[in-house]
Amino acid sequence: MDLATFLVQCLNAVQYGLLLFLVASGLTLIFGIMGVINLAHGSFYMLGAYLAFALAPWFGDWFFTRLAVGIALAVVFGYLLEWAFFSFLYERDHLQQVLLTYALILVFEELRSLLVGNDVHGVAAPEWLAGSFRLGGLMSYPWYRVFASVACLVVALALYGVVNRTRLGMMIRAGASNRDMVRGLGVDIRRLYRIVFAGGVALAALAGMIAAPLSSVYPGMGGSVLIICFVVVVIGGIGSITGALVASLLVGFVDTFGKVFFAEWSGVSVYVLMAIVLVWRPEGLMKRGF
C-alpha cells in the first residue's frame, strides 16, 4: 500500500468514525441518562437520510438551511416521540424496552415505506462541495468527505462544550450518575429527559443527513448502523461521551482497514475487536462518566 492510499484510508476511517460518533453519542446519552435501551435509534439515522433526500428538491443548494431545517424537524419529532412513547419506557425492564423499541422499528420502517417507498436513492452533495482535491499527486480525495469529518468534529466539540461547560450539561452529568438525587434537587427531570432524547434524535438525524450523499439512502441503513453503534457503546462504555469518541474512531479504523486487508471477512473485524475488548476490559475502555 503506498502512502497516498494509506492516507486516503486513514481519512476515510476518521470520517466514518466521526459519523458513527454522532449516532453513538446520542445512543449512549439516552442510555446513560434515562436507562433506556433503544433499538429504534438507527431509525433516527435513517430518518435523517430520508429527510436529506426529501428536502433536497425544496432547498436546492441552500445546504446549511437544509441541514438546519432537518435538525429542527428532528428535534420536534424527538420531543413528541419522547412525550408520546418513550416516557412510558423508563419504568419498564430491559426486555420490555427491547421489544417495544423493536416494534417501533417495524412501525418506522413501514411508515417510511408508505411515505417514500422502498427504493434506494442517491442524494447529491451540494455544488460547492462537489469534486475532489489532489492528494500525493496520484490520489484524489472528495471535498465532501472532508466537510463531513469537519462537521462531525465541530458537533463533537459543541457536544463536549455543552456537556462540560453549561448548566444543562451539568444536569446531564449529574443525571447520569444519580437520577434520584437530581430529581430530589428539584430539577424538572421530565423536561431534562425530553431535551436529552430530542438531542439524541437530532444527533442521529444529523449524521444521517450528512451521510446521505456518501452512502446513499436505502431501507436497511438503520439496522446496520445501530448494531455498529452498539459495538461502539460496549467498547467505549455506556454513558461516556469520550469513550464513544475513542471507540468510534477505533471502530472506524478497524472497519476501514479491515475492508482493505481482509476482503470477504472484513464484516467480522469490528466484532473481533469487540471480543478482544471484552476479554481485556469488559466494562468498556472508559469507566462510566464523561
Partner 1 sequence: MASDDAVASAEVRAEVGALPDIGRREAGGWKVPVLAALAVAALPALISPYAQDVVIRIAIYAIFALSLELIVGATGLVSLGHAAFLGIGAYVTVLASGDSGASLLVLVPLAIGAAAAYALVVGALSLRTRGVYFIMVTLAFAQMAYFVFHDTKLGGGSDGIFLDVKPTLQLAGRTLVDLADHAHLYYAVVIALVATYGLIALLLASRFGHALAGIRVNEQRMRAAGFSTTPYKLAAFVIAGALAGLAGLLIAVKDGTVNPELLAWHESGAVLLMLIFGGIGSLRGAVIGAVAFTLLKELAQSEALLGPLAPHWQLTLGLAIIAFVAALPRGLIGLGARLRSAFARPEVAAHG
Site residues, partner 1 (CB under 8 A) = 31, 37, 39, 88, 92, 94-96, 98-100, 102-107, 109-111, 113-114, 223, 227, 230-231, 233-234, 238, 264-268, 271-272, 274-275, 278-279, 282-284
CB of residue 255 to partner 1, shortest distance in Å: 12
CB of residue 148 to partner 1, shortest distance in Å: 25
Q: How many CB atoms lie within 10 A of CB 154?
A: 11
For 238, the grid coordinates are 455506556
Whose Cβ is closer to partner 1: residue 151's or residue 176's?
176
For 265, the grid coordinates are 471477512
Handedness of CA 73, 206, 118, 221 (dihedral sign): negative
Whose Cβ is closer to partner 1: residue 151's or residue 247's?
247
- What is the full DSSP assignment across 190-202? HHHHHHHHHHHHH
Residue 191 burial by Cβ neighbours in a 10 Å radius (0-12, 13-18, 19+):
exposed
Whose Cβ is closer to partner 1: residue 115's or residue 137's?
115
Handedness of CA 26, 56, 84, 168 (dihedral sign): positive
Whose Cβ is closer to partner 1: residue 15's or residue 101's?
101
CB of residue 96 to partner 1, shortest distance in Å: 6
CA-CA distances (angstroms) from residue 255 to 127, 179, 228, 259, 284? 29, 36, 10, 6, 19
Q: How many CB atoms lie within 10 A of CB 197?
A: 25
* N-term to C-term CA, the chain: 37
Whose Cβ is closer to partner 1: residue 210's or residue 231's?
231
CB of residue 103 to partner 1, shortest distance in Å: 4
Whose Cβ is closer to partner 1: residue 71's or residue 229's?
229
CB of residue 227 to partner 1, shortest distance in Å: 5
CB of residue 226 to partner 1, shortest distance in Å: 9
